Structure 1
Amino acid sequence: MRITFLGTGTSQGIPIIGCQCEVCTSLDYRNKRLRSSIHIQTDNNESIIIDSGTDFRQQVLRERITQLDGLLFTHQHKDHTAGMDDIRGFYFLNGMKPIELFATAPVFDQLKQEFSYIFAKEKYPGVPSVNLNTLEKNKTFKVGKTDILPIEVYHYKLPVLGYRIKNFAYITDANRIEADQMDQLKGLDILVINALQKEKHISHFTLDEAKEVIKELKPKKAYITHIGHKMGLHADVQKDLPENVFLSEDGLVLEL
């Protein structure tokens, strides 16, 4: 399995418009972060993307992704859904077969409002068709031949889905994971988990809080994502992390 970080930044990305801090003005490419998303190429050759955020088109073009077997959503916030308009390219590449979308019912309700033209009874020519696959926590589903387990975490009071495929798991936009869901995250080779910054935040793990989750779950390796500019410079933060914990970066590829 091959995992590519399409983006590792928070809702505004890095640099933030108009910000002159040392992170936003850094020339180190590792401090340039698009909105958080990953691409997974499975052992069965399925192509899966988790979240189509604001930078979706740019990310897909950069990584030369030409196949989409499943688009999974973690939750309904715009920095994770706003790029869905650009599934049109995959729709045409797929011979106008519907694109398979996977999310909870509340996420689909939001998508129907924001992309009403996709769900209209009478569509404008060229509008893509989609199949909605409604998910529930702890109920395994398939993309092609690949089994995926949805795991529920909390983004303040909002339920958000993380996903586990074999011994890999991806958790973003969380600041609380209940004990029964922590149990679903044990025995991992790689955990990707969000940490916005070092200071306390109402809806995201801090770096220390994410490290505590990692310490409890004991994955072989862990990667931090959904990073804000207040976290600090990539090189400085990485120096202080445990030997099995890494700051992710846009374009980073992991092989499992």
Structure 2
Amino acid sequence: MQAEIVVLGSGTSMGVPTLGCGCAVCTSTDPRNRRSRPSIAVEWGDHRVVIDTGQDFREQALREKITHVDAVLYTHPHADHILGLDDLRPLSFRHHDSMPLYADDATAAVLRTVFSYTFAPDAKYPTRARVRLEPMNGQESAQIAGVRFQRIPLMHGRLAVGGYRFGNVAYLTDMNRIPEESLPLLEDLDVMILDALRWEPHPSHANVDEALGWVERVRPRQAWFTHIAHELDHAPTEAALPPHIRMAYDGLRIPITLQAETSAGERS
């Protein structure tokens, strides 16, 4: 079935423009250089799954006219990936049941602490988000509205994090290493979206050369770089890349094909 990836945000934890910076990218008039915190939505039929809700999620959702979310998948517990959770409140009120939020144990622990007024058993905040945490660890997967989402273990410096595969697409933000045991989960990809922070090395993010190396190893048919810092100007950077590797930008829509599975809602 036909689907789309919507790049809600393609920037770093500090966003682009970065506060206090007057560099050529931060002052650029190219709208592709305006990058909010990293997140995507996967849309098919009347369904939508979001991966990560950072500080910019409300503006991203308004920009893309998001009025319904079936579920949210979290990659790790850093601020630029979780702090927009509270903006799910009006969307969660539309659910007949609570909205599922999939997260590994470490991320779930942070969410329960930061949003204790939402998750505490004795929470009394009457308009708190109607959400529930669902565990997603290791290489576990879940079916959401008939589509299987597979967690991909990654390393973000010394922090174990997760990416996700759905159909022949993988989203691998905030990482600089793919463990050997995760590589079989990335075979035969049509689309790979991955971290490519800047040209210079970084202790917890892939730089452009490292990202190119991962693309060469995984060999997707098409790759898109995301989590892009203000060191990379969109147009000249993209011009230096091979034709099958492009720079993502906020609002980009990537057409994909998903395979519906028959046992919707089951865990594996």
CA contact (8 A) 2:116 2:123 kept: no
Name the count of aligned residue pairs.
253
Question: What is the aligned partner in structure 1 of residue 148 from structure 2?
Answer: 147
TM-score, normalised relative to structure 1: 0.96
Aligned match of 1:254? 254
Q: CA deviation at 1:145?
A: 1.3
Partner of 2:192: 191
Q: In the aligned structure 2, how far is the partner of 1:221 from the partner of 1:142?
A: 25
Aligned to 1:108: 108
CA deviations over 1:82-121 (Å, ceiling 9, x no partner): 10011111122225x3111001011010001101100131
2: CA distance, partners of 1:94 / 1:122? 19
Q: Please report how far the alpha carbon of residue 132 of structure 1 lies from its aligned counterpart in structure 2 after TM superposition.
A: 1.3
8 Å Cα contact 2:50-2:71 kept in structure 1: yes
What code does the residue aligned with 2:31 have? Y
Give % identity. 39
Aligned mates of 2:252, 2:133 — CA distance in 1? 30
SS in 2 for 1:230: coil
1:38 Cα deviation (Å)? 0.1
Partner of 1:25: 27
Asked if the contact 1:105/1:134 (under 8 Å) is kept, the reply is: yes
Q: In the alignment, is residue 68 of structure 1 matched against residue 69 of structure 2?
A: yes
Q: Distance in 2 between matches of 1:122 and 1:18?
A: 39
Which stretch of structure 1 is more off in the superposition, 121-130 or 186-195?
121-130
Q: In 2, Cα distance between the equivalents of 1:107 and 1:116?
A: 13
Rounded to whole Å, the distance in 2 between the matches of 1:183 and 1:202 is 25
Aligned pairs for 1:86-125 (under 5 A) are 86-95=87-96, 97-120=97-120, 121-125=122-126
TM-score by length of 2: 0.92
RCO higher in 1 or 2 (8 Å CA, sep ≥ 6)? 2
Distance in 2 between residues matched to 1:213 and 1:172, nearest whole Å: 13
8 Å Cα contact 1:42-1:146 kept in structure 2:
no
| Letter matched to residue 142 of structure 1 | Q
- For structure 1, the residue ranges without an aligned partner over 5 or more in a row are none
Q: Which amino acid aligns with 1:144?
A: A
- Cα distance, 1:75 vs. partner? 0.2
| Deviations, residues 3-29 of structure 1 (Å, cap 9, x unaligned) | 000000000100011100000000110
